[in-house]
Structure 1
């Protein structure tokens, strides 16, 4: 059995009481205190996440834009320097290789942030479709990523930098920001449905910054958070997880992220024809929200029925810590997606009633 990979922050976990699990071949914290407490902290104050397992790939060269237009579904030409974009790598049939963030440093320099479990596969895919005038470099091993998320994230991070963070807008970033004297890339992005930042920095400086942030945010209620809270937070905000809401067999249109698929962009991209057809005809399946009527928690892969017809399955489900309701996301046949539709979820051999409800389950209150 191969040894689990560790992030540069692994040595800090024990100090803060982390309970770790095997997550896609990585030894990562599932929680530090409790999932509910950490979830609540992010919704009301702030939480700190080690996301150094995520992958980073530098894309450089005179044809970098043309290349990214070909391999990603979104329109990279719309990016200004200092802007980030959510996008997807697709197979020719419209299935998903991975979802990712694209950061524009310059006309000939971009950064791709990819999912941890997909690093090798993505790099192989990107290499396979490389064109002349482009060089890619997998910089995942030397890059750490720390996310600070929640309503107090900005004021806490601001204590450690002279850069005015209020000037970094949503899905914007600034490079060479000194945070506690460490050169970082600070991006106003996240995976929780809250305001916050993702900070990219040299791996060897990760422990220093992690400790300093927790120290700086202590009086404001900043707590270290694990994968458990990260999952419940992203789920409530209906942010997809690769392997559950997105996969080789689930297209971005089925998963409800059609905003990241520009089927009419001038540059042809991998999967364009299949996705264009799917958009014109309407996808056969769609991702919906369900709320249990009977008592029971819908879990990943639980079958969903209407009458005797199997209409799909749950992709993610839990008791929502914010709503205190048993809810789930399910990929089902499109004809059963109207709000209020009654369905049944098979839980431990019993069919329990649920209904289709609006998503996301949680939206951040506007200031």
Structure 2
């Protein structure tokens, strides 16, 4: 099966991209190098092509009630110009996906989903449109998505847009133009840094990419790949579907209870999540730092007091902290901060410790 390509694929080579398969897409894992790109985002800024993400448009009188029934967070609190993060779960409480909701009006919203879940999510949402008065449209092929992240992101972007970016608060968005391109510009982020997402029609992707990098050159902005996006989000303890969230992992187990509003009314999976909360989760996703040599990788077994209690969901050598870090899904009795665990790495049980997360938090 051939891999899908974003509208920016044609210029990857010109910027030195090394591509890999990701969720059925041929995507840049790096341009100048993962460590250099990671450092750029933490200290200056980086530009990502995340056009592989999916965008669905929901229109109709019941757009908000439809979303309220589908997701665990409270869509009823949304007003025009607001964005919201939320898990979306099955009846048993496991995750269909985690997503962003953008509210343009009471009768028009976008849902932004993970690239590898586009078809699955669209089928799931389509199956639940009745009895709601909504039209659900998959606009993923029409829309390109660029993400400019880092402490200098606002300075760079402000030079090529007339909108006052000070007025775009966290989890807010505005419809504007950037370097002549009509764009939806939001401020959500997936790196632990400040930054913006720019949704544009696919034909604008290449000229906008070039304009942003040209504007960012005096600031040291770099094109960035998915390699550093993963190390950045892991340092910030942000979940990745297929790792910290999955069909068999609930938002409560993943530590996302703040995005599960059991008091908002009926929604898919409410009963299962309410039962899980009342009984207490039997396992939790927690952070670890290694105390012995070795890097924890996804799937590695985790032990406590001589028995296997879970596995690594994500792990890396933290470029910012210069230590091996990871997220693990372990039984609740082994999840307390300060607990000593062991990760099996190449046949050896290497000690690690449960720590508070996020591992990295930017200065305000």
Superposition TM-score, scaled by structure 1 size: 0.98
Query: Which string of whole-angstrom CA distances, capped at 9 and with x for unpartnered residues, describes residues 96-147 of structure 1?
Result: 0000000100011100000000000000000000124100000000000000
Paired residue total: 363
Query: Which residue number in structure 2 is paired with residue 288 of structure 1?
Result: 286
Query: Which residue number in structure 1 is paired with residue 306 of structure 2?
Result: 308
Is 2:345 aligned against 1:347? yes
Query: Which residue number in structure 1 is paired with residue 356 of structure 2?
Result: 358
Query: Which residue number in structure 2 is paired with residue 321 of structure 1?
Result: 319
State how 1:203-214 maps to structure 2 within 5 Å: 203-214=202-213
Is 2:273 aligned against 1:275? yes
Cα displacement (A) at 1:80: 1.5
Q: Secondary structure at the match of 1:249?
A: coil
State how 1:158-177 maps to structure 2 within 5 Å: 158-175=158-175, 177=176
Cα displacement (A) at 1:265: 1.0
- Say what the alpha-carbon RMSD is for the aligned residues: 0.6
State how 1:131-170 maps to structure 2 within 5 Å: 131=130, 132-170=132-170
Structure 1 residue runs of 5 or longer lacking an equivalent are none
Query: Which residue number in structure 2 is paired with residue 69 of structure 1?
Result: 68
Cα distance in 2 for partners of 1:133, 1:25 equals 33
Cα distance in 2 for partners of 1:12, 1:113 equals 24
Cα displacement (A) at 1:282: 1.3
Cα distance in 2 for partners of 1:151, 1:18 equals 24
Structure 2 residue runs of 5 or longer lacking an equivalent are none
Question: Is 333-342 or 214-223 further displaced after alignment?
Answer: 333-342
Cα distance in 2 for partners of 1:327, 1:69 equals 36
Cα displacement (A) at 1:180: 0.7
Cα displacement (A) at 1:89: 1.1
Query: Which string of whole-angstrom CA distances, capped at 9 and with x for unpartnered residues, describes residues 274-330 of structure 1?
Result: 001111111111111111111111100100001321110000001100000011100
Query: Which residue number in structure 1 is paired with residue 219 of structure 2?
Result: 220
Q: Secondary structure at the match of 1:279?
A: helix
Cα distance in 2 for partners of 1:352, 1:178 equals 52
Query: Which residue number in structure 2 is paired with residue 229 of structure 1?
Result: 228
Superposition TM-score, scaled by structure 2 size: 0.99
Query: Which residue number in structure 2 is paired with residue 103 of structure 1?
Result: 102
Query: Which residue number in structure 1 is paired with residue 335 of structure 2?
Result: 337
Q: Secondary structure at the match of 2:88?
A: strand
Cα displacement (A) at 1:12: 1.1
Query: Which residue number in structure 2 is paired with residue 22 of structure 1?
Result: 21
Question: Is 330-339 or 53-62 further displaced after alignment?
Answer: 330-339
Query: Which string of whole-angstrom CA distances, capped at 9 and with x for unpartnered residues, describes residues 1-27 of structure 1?
Result: x11000000011000000000111100
Q: Secondary structure at the match of 2:350?
A: strand
Cα distance in 1 for partners of 2:63, 2:201 equals 24
Is 2:293 aligned against 1:299? no
Cα distance in 1 for partners of 2:259, 2:341 equals 29
Where do 4+ consecutive residues of structure 1 move more than 4 Å?
A: none
Cα distance in 2 for partners of 1:69, 1:178 equals 31
